[in-house]
Amino acid sequence: MTAINPVTDLSKDGDIAVVTLNSPPVNALSANVRDGLFEAFRQAKEDASVKAIVLICEGRTFIAGADISEFGGQMKGASLFDVENGIEDSPKPVIAAIHGTALGGGLEVALCAHYRVAVPSAKCGLPEVNIGLLPGAGGTQRLPRIVGVEKALEMVTTGQHVPAKQCFEMGLVDELAPEGKLKETALAFARKCVAENKPLKKVRDNNAKLEAAKGHPEIFANFRKANARKFRGFLAPENNIKCIEAAVNSASFDEGLKAERKLFMELMMGEQSAAQRYAFFAERQANKIPDVPDDTRTIAIKKVGVIGAGTMGGGISMNFANAGIPVTIVEVKQDALDRGLKVVRGNYERSAKGGRFTMDDVEKRMGLLAGSLSLEDLKDCDLVIEAVFERMDIKKDVFARLDGIVKQGAILATNTSYLNVDEIASATKRPEYVIGLHFFSPANVMRLLEIVRGEKTSKEVVATAMKLAKTIGKVGVLVGVCPGFVGNRMLAQRTREANALVLEGAMPWDVDRVLYDFGFPMGPFAMGDLAGLDIGWVKEQSKSSTLRECLCEMDRRGQKTGAGFYDYDENRNAKPSPVTEKVIADFRAKQGINPRTISDDEILERCLYPMVNEGAKILEEKKAIRASDIDVVWLNGYGFPVYRGGPMYWGEKVGLQKILERMKSFQAQMGDAFKPSALLERLVAEDKKFSDIK
């Protein structure tokens, strides 16, 4: 065995050379890895006794892509193209042996091997689109040559990780190895190549599948049309499509490669990819809690209790059933329990009909959910999540009772949206085991989980909650106790301004349009109509004191009644409403407000700058560990466009100085709702960024 460099070894098994990479955690193609690969292949090719070469990785995965942390900086060492050419042009067969994931640059390298062998648990994909890029080392030119244009379009624009069995069926993988026997199988495959004098298959030379798509521009037009909504605002999907188009229409592979390079660099130098790369690392950073080390003991969660089978309880339970963890759901009345379980079954059946899993899986998951009317049935749960009405007295009562029932050492969690977790914890004798687990609606779909650390919550409980988030496929972000925590606290700023803008002269659809164009999936008024304007509205107490109350009083309670801020047709298409316009005009008149014209710029600034300012207050009060955690909350829980990085990242791009100045001028006109946070003032004075806060 020869150590080529600290991350690359070259060894021999008879007349087969084995190049082994070992660069934890994911064998990303850093300068060291590229140099090691380049040199190992050079030596293996030069060694006359070597007849074939196997490329294999140590650790949990094959190469998971280029090293994203190197992007934007000065590239050192061998280029990825040097490495790829060194492999593809080898006069001896090269076999890539794949386990874990072969992603991005990793799959691009594997596509330069003459053959690919993988274990069934392996996955292959080109996920660059998720960081605002495209596979820039030949991936867009080689992939369609193997899997065809349609499948390639789908893979590069979704970034999906395709299971090895499917890859085998598409010809992306040449042989499946038994699990745990990758190296033996790859070596045997290499020997067979030598013995049978198998051809050195270069993907770049295989044009048959491209020919089939030539002269059919409708393939691309249809694909663009079918995905227009999904791709809205993003630049990367279009550049990915253009690359596949170039593969079909270019006179040669090299010409296609040139087009790919140009489109890649366009994205790489752009603001969207920078924001999306930031988001990638922000999400991983959120897992790191400075005073809770990685080796902190965690509590095994084998059985979960959920209290309340309403909107949230049902969705929360589904997350655990999906992960194979049994759940007991407790309700006060049988009919509420039946209703809740029926909604869950309906959701599962819809997924099964959509092809996400089988009807058998529906039964398996439903079989993990038990209903009960007694808290006593939760006594042996490891975690109980309360999702009852948002009232402190009810929550305290539930927690006091749980404290007497549930075994010691179990976690008692609340899904409250706004209430004080410490006060809820005070109803128990074990506040160190109490935590907030704030799911977002629909709880089985939304990726965000705000994990609310109480004053007395133990580190063990925090570590368990962070780990649990991963188990159930959520992005956990640790936040502190304050009204609305991070997400809803900032949202309240936007809601206040959206309403104020309408009173001052904008129309709800103006505000919605500006935020939609910014990249949110919908604006606050359309969102209100969707959720129902009557959430928290009590008919008997309604006094036409807000626009919402006025609309509810007219039975315009949102989409469900066919009208809210907007009018809806039978297909729930929204139209600006003359009725709402009149309600607004009357309301303004009653308040003595003289409407004025409000610019789109003002709408955006008024809605978003106070959010950035509130984020700064949250940091100042240490309710979030770092600014990027706030961004992770907004990206995963509130539809903030990922290509803008999140409110704090975006705020810095706008310029903290500009935001501070605008907040001051709004404050002078409209009062202290716009008072700049002390942190914002300090950062601007010291010419610093949020990430400089230590």
Q: Which of 165, 170, 177 is nearest to 203 (CA)?
A: 170
Q: How far apart are CA 14 and CA 53, in angstroms?
A: 11
Distance of closest approach, residue 536 Cβ to ligand NAI, in angstroms: 10
Q: How far apart are CA 443 and CA 440, in angstroms?
A: 5
Of the two residues 113 and 131, which places its CB atom closer to ligand 3HC in the complex? Answer: 131
Of the two residues 281 and 389, which places its CB atom closer to ligand NAI in the complex? Answer: 389
Distance of closest approach, residue 328 Cβ to ligand NAI, in angstroms: 12
Which residues face 451 on adjacent strands?
437, 478
Q: Tokens in use for 17?
A: 């050379």
Distance of closest approach, residue 401 Cβ to ligand NAI, in angstroms: 8
DSSP 515: H
- 621 belongs to the catalytic site: no
Q: Out of ligand NAI, ligand 3HC, none, which partner does residue 475 contact, by CB within 5 to 8 A per kind?
A: none
Of the two residues 71 and 357, which places its CB atom closer to ligand 3HC in the complex? Answer: 71
Q: Show Cβ contacts of residue 225 under 8 Å, excluding neighbours closer than 6 positions.
A: none
Q: How far apart are CA 473 and CA 490, in angstroms?
A: 25
Contact 450, 637 (CB under 8 A): yes
Of the two residues 25 and 91, which places its CB atom closer to ligand 3HC in the complex? Answer: 25
Q: Out of ligand 3HC, ligand NAI, none, which partner does residue 387 contact, by CB within 5 to 8 A per kind?
A: ligand NAI
The residue type at 282:
A
Of the two residues 22 and 311, which places its CB atom closer to ligand NAI in the complex? Answer: 311
Of the two residues 69 and 334, which places its CB atom closer to ligand 3HC in the complex? Answer: 69
Catalytic residue among 39, 88, 128, 450: 128
CA atoms within 13 A on the CB side of 626: 19
Q: Out of ligand 3HC, ligand NAI, none, which partner does residue 144 contact, by CB within 5 to 8 A per kind?
A: none
Distance of closest approach, residue 430 Cβ to ligand NAI, in angstroms: 19
Q: How far apart are CA 450 and CA 468, in angstroms?
A: 12
Check whether the bond before 25 is cis (ω within 30° of 0).
Answer: yes
Q: Out of ligand 3HC, ligand NAI, none, which partner does residue 88 contact, by CB within 5 to 8 A per kind?
A: none
Of the two residues 390 and 586, which places its CB atom closer to ligand NAI in the complex? Answer: 390
Q: Out of ligand 3HC, ligand NAI, none, which partner does residue 415 contact, by CB within 5 to 8 A per kind?
A: ligand NAI
Q: Out of ligand NAI, ligand 3HC, none, which partner does residue 332 contact, by CB within 5 to 8 A per kind?
A: ligand NAI
Distance of closest approach, residue 111 Cβ to ligand 3HC, in angstroms: 11
Which residues face 97 on adjacent strands?
117
DSSP H stretches of helix in 576-599: 578-591
Q: Tokens in use for 500?
A: 């104020």
Closest CB to ligand NAI belongs to which residue? Answer: 310
Q: What are phi and psi of 68, to 5 degrees?
A: -65, -30
Place of tokens 């244009």: 149
Q: Which of 521, 523, 550 is nearest to 534 (CA)?
A: 550
Q: How far apart are CA 62 and CA 149, in angstroms?
A: 25
Task: Catalog residues that contact ligand NAI under the rule CB under 6 A.
Answer: 307-313, 330-332, 336, 387-390, 394, 398, 415-417, 439-441
Q: Tokens in use for 293?
A: 């080390």
Catalytic residue among 84, 88, 108, 386: 108
Q: How far apart are CA 61 and CA 490, in angstroms?
A: 39
Task: Catalog residues that contact ligand 3HC under the rule CB under 6 A.
Answer: 25-26, 28, 61, 64-69, 80, 101, 103-105, 108, 127-128, 131, 133, 135-137, 139, 281, 284
Burial-class residue 525 by CB neighbours within 10 Å (0-12, 13-18, 19+).
buried
Of the two residues 387 and 511, which places its CB atom closer to ligand NAI in the complex? Answer: 387
| DSSP per residue, 10-68 | EEEETTEEEEEE--TTT--B-HHHHHHHHHHHHHHHH-TT--EEEEEE-TT-S--SB-G
Of the two residues 187 and 384, which places its CB atom closer to ligand NAI in the complex? Answer: 384
Q: Tokens in use for 629?
A: 């955690």
Distance of closest approach, residue 114 Cβ to ligand NAI, in angstroms: 53
Distance of closest approach, residue 489 Cβ to ligand NAI, in angstroms: 13
Distance of closest approach, residue 284 Cβ to ligand 3HC, in angstroms: 4
CA-to-CA separations, 16 to 99, 161, 596, in angstroms, rounded: 20, 30, 79
Cα torsion 483, 488, 490, 493: sign: negative
Q: Out of ligand NAI, ligand 3HC, none, which partner does residue 28 contact, by CB within 5 to 8 A per kind?
A: ligand 3HC
Distance of closest approach, residue 206 Cβ to ligand 3HC, in angstroms: 20
3-state SS class at 358? coil
Q: Out of ligand 3HC, ligand NAI, none, which partner does residue 284 contact, by CB within 5 to 8 A per kind?
A: ligand 3HC
- 108 belongs to the catalytic site: yes
Active site residues: 108, 128
